[in-house]
Structure 1
Amino acid sequence: MFIKKTTATFVLAASLVSSVVFSPAVFAGDIIKLATTTSTENSGLLGYILPKFEKQSGYTVQVIATGTGKALKLASQGDVDVVMTHAPGAEAKFVADGFGIEPRGIMANDFVVLGPKADPAGIHSSKTAEDAFAKIAATHSTFLSRGDNSGTNMKENIIWKRAKVTPNFKGYTPVGQGMGKTLLMANELQAYTLSDRGTFVAYKAKLDLEVKFDGGKLLANPYQVILINPKKYPDLNHKGARAFSDWLVNPKTKALINSYKVQGQQLFKAKED
């Protein structure tokens, strides 16, 4: 009896060990580390599309949602397998410096300048984004900047530069937060801020802010997926990263992106072939 019990116990233990050792979840090759912007997460898009990719591919995607600047820094350090960001200038430098390869356009939406309904700076009648920003500065209105080197922050700085304004006026307030938190803070302070339209729509029900200016090429907001150069970091999950990149530009995935809506409004438009 003692021998049989020991054998049975051994078989059970071996079975448990086997189930742990060979469980797909423990294989590093099954995990894809994605560094991306807060807007793709705050808008709800990742929560909508990633489960479908994971089910189809067998991979698990670990998301690090942060500003574009930090996402590209993580990628340049070899800390993630793939990046998906929205700052063309920074992305071009990332590739030119040899850290990224095969940038591929995925989708786009646009940036909007949000503000209180009263519109104290009177930007609603502005003809350009630069004009709107200049009015905000001239009236010393409260403007919340993400101040986090994100793609949105980079776009904001481009607009200030084109407006020939140094953003150090009394109402200018960098907050160092992601898009969602910045919107909530701007709402509380009834301040102006720059947001991607997707996150604004996703948060709209929580906000007493309005789109006070939008439109024009300057406020275009394209997103790209970029692979990490295997010559720089050969030990990353390049196979999984490529599978994810290929999936994102697949026509079926583009249709999926186009179908994502919040409050009946389409948040992103997939890039056409």
Structure 2
Amino acid sequence: MRDFCDRVKLVRYSTAHAVDSGLVRAPWRVTSGLLIAVVCLSCHVAAPPALTLATTTSVGNSGLLDQLAPAFHQYYGIEIHSHLVGSGLALQMLAKREVDVVISHAPALEAVALRERPDWRYRKIMFNDFVLVGPSDDPAKVKSASGVVDAMRRIASSPVKFLSRGDQSGTHEREEALWKFAEKRPPSDRLVVAGAGMGATLRIASEVGAYVLTDRATFSQLASSLRLVIVFEGGVSLLNTYAVIVDPSGPLGTSAVAFADWLSDGDGRGVIERYRVGTDVQAFNPWPRERQSQRPEDLPD
């Protein structure tokens, strides 16, 4: 850009010299001067500051973030710098103003955060579901379970390991709720805490032949490289909702709100709807426009 501006200055000097020498008429001096002034002014306009996003690992591991960030940059000229972390940590980072925007999928944690900071702006943006995956031979017979609670009880009673995220993520929050509903959980030697993101947790579960709760999008993205299959799916207890949360009073509050609006009501919805993983699996569904979206407890239908 500096080289371009230097060349513009050279053209401006040459034009002025030509007028002074009588080679061109004086009105050209005014017209060209205004044009070059506008062009040079554009050389000094700084790009908007980048937004810092803390998002669930499932949004990153599924590949969706790789579609959202460049699409938003193309639309607004604002870059997105991201941190892939559990929802609990993401909300803490927003509270400390270490990030400008959060994408979370932990409704209970979100509700606590909003009670403490009612000025935050909250919108549901999409949903998919959780699934239970495990070894193809299904030693705990989870495939024949009557429901997700029965499935968790079968895993707890079997000799097979269950791999937990253990990271205060939305997936970990849901896993803990399911163990509570089941009123039973594996002993500590079979409940292995990965303390990692969804992609890494799935790879470990594949290596050790363990059961694990995962979002469908990340599993579908990685399924071809894993020795795991879906053993249980379906039901409202496995619904997985995602929200975008911003602090409008933050340092980049205006840009953060623009990103949130783009996701919830703008062209970001189309990016979400078109994104596919694995064998043409729709990874996420945009939040229905006719449904409430401003509370953690809101559901898509």
Range of TM-score over shorter length: 0.7 to 0.9
Match of 1:171 among 190, 214, 219: 190
Deviation of 1:30 (Å) = 1.9
- What SS does the aligned partner of 2:206 have? helix
Give the distance between the partners of 2:133 and 2:159, measured in 1 at CA. 16
Match of 1:264 among 242, 256, 280: 280
Give 1:29-108 correspondences, 5 Å limit. 29-98=48-117, 101-108=120-127
Give 1:1-273 correspondences, 5 Å limit. 22=44, 24-25=46-47, 29-98=48-117, 101-228=120-247, 230=249, 234=250, 236-262=251-277, 263-273=279-289
Give the distance between the partners of 1:51 and 1:213, measured in 2 at CA. 35
- What SS does the aligned partner of 1:33 have? strand
Give the distance between the partners of 1:272 and 1:257, measured in 2 at CA. 12
Give the distance between the partners of 1:110 and 1:164, measured in 2 at CA. 22
Give the distance between the partners of 1:191 and 1:166, measured in 2 at CA. 14
Deviation of 1:100 (Å) = 5.6
**C-alpha distance after superposition, 1:3-60 (max 9, x if no partner):** xxxxx9xx99xxxxx99x94735xxx52111111000000000101210100110111
Q: 5+ unaligned residues in a row in structure 2: which ranges?
A: 1-5, 11-39, 290-301
- Superposition RMSD in Å: 2.0
Deviation of 1:129 (Å) = 1.4
**C-alpha distance after superposition, 1:86-125 (max 9, x if no partner):** 0111111111101662211100000000000110111101
Give the distance between the partners of 1:204 and 1:22, measured in 2 at CA. 48
- What SS does the aligned partner of 2:133 have? strand
Structure 2 match to 1:3: none
Give the distance between the partners of 2:176 and 2:147, measured in 1 at CA. 15
Give the distance between the partners of 1:186 and 1:99, measured in 2 at CA. 39
- Tell me if the contact between 1:99 and 1:228 (Cα under 8 Å) persists in the aligned partners: no
Larger Rg computed on CA atoms: 2
Give the distance between the partners of 1:37 and 1:203, measured in 2 at CA. 16
TM-score normalised by length of structure 2: 0.79
Give the distance between the partners of 1:80 and 1:167, measured in 2 at CA. 37
**C-alpha distance after superposition, 1:197-254 (max 9, x if no partner):** 0000010111111000010000000000011252xxx4x2101101100100125322
- What SS does the aligned partner of 1:24 have? coil
- What SS does the aligned partner of 2:128 have? strand
- What SS does the aligned partner of 2:270 have? helix
Of 256-265 and 105-114, the range deviating more from structure 2: 256-265
The aligned amino acid for 2:280 is: G
TM-score normalised by length of structure 1: 0.87
How many residues align? The count is: 251
The aligned amino acid for 1:108 is: F
- Tell me if the contact between 2:122 and 2:244 (Cα under 8 Å) persists in the aligned partners: yes
Give the distance between the partners of 1:142 and 1:261, measured in 2 at CA. 31
